[in-house]
Amino acid sequence: MSSPAKHRALRLMHGELDACRVCPNMIGPVVHGAPVVSRVILVGQAPGPREGSFGRPFAWTAGRTMFRWFEEAMGVGEDGFRAGVYIAAVARCFPGKASGGGDRRPDADEIARCEGWLQREAAILEPELVVPVGTLAIERVLGEKMPLAEIVGELRRARWHGREVDVIALPHPSGASTWHRMEPGKTLLARALRRLARHPAMAALARE
Ligand code: SF4
CATH number reported for the structural domain that contains residue 100 in this entry: 3.40.470.10
**Average pLDDT for runs of 10 along the chain of length 208:** 95 98 97 97 96 96 96 94 97 92 92 98 98 97 96 97 97 87 96 96 71
Q: What is the pLDDT of residue 145?
A: 93
Structural domain harbouring 188:
3-207
pLDDT at 1: 86
Ligand 1 center to 16 CA (angstroms): 11
Pocket test for ligand 1, best of 13, 27, 93 (most atoms within 8 A of CB): 93
Atom of ligand 1 nearest to the CA of 110: 4
Q: Residue with the nearest Cα to atom 4 of ligand 1? A: 23
- Rounded to an integer, what distance in angstroms lies between the CA atom of residue 35 and that of residue 32? 9
pLDDT score for 122: 98
Domains held by the chain: number: 1
Between the CA of 17 and the centroid of ligand 1 the distance, in Å, is 8
For the chain, the straight-line distance linking the first and the last C-alpha, in angstroms and rounded, comes to 23
Return the ligand 1 atom nearest residue 116 CA. Answer: 3
What's the rounded Cα separation, in Å, for the pair 132 and 173? 12
The closest residue, in CA terms, to atom 8 on ligand 1 is 20
What is the model's pLDDT at position 191? 98
- Residue-level pLDDT at 159: 97
Q: For the sheet containing 40-44, what is the strand order?
A: 86-89, 40-44, 129-132, 163-167, 156-160
Q: Quick one: pLDDT at residue 95? A: 97
CA distance 134 to 146: 11
Q: Please give the pLDDT value at position 99.
A: 83
CA of 23 to the centre of ligand 1 (A): 6
At position 190, the amino acid (one-letter code) is A
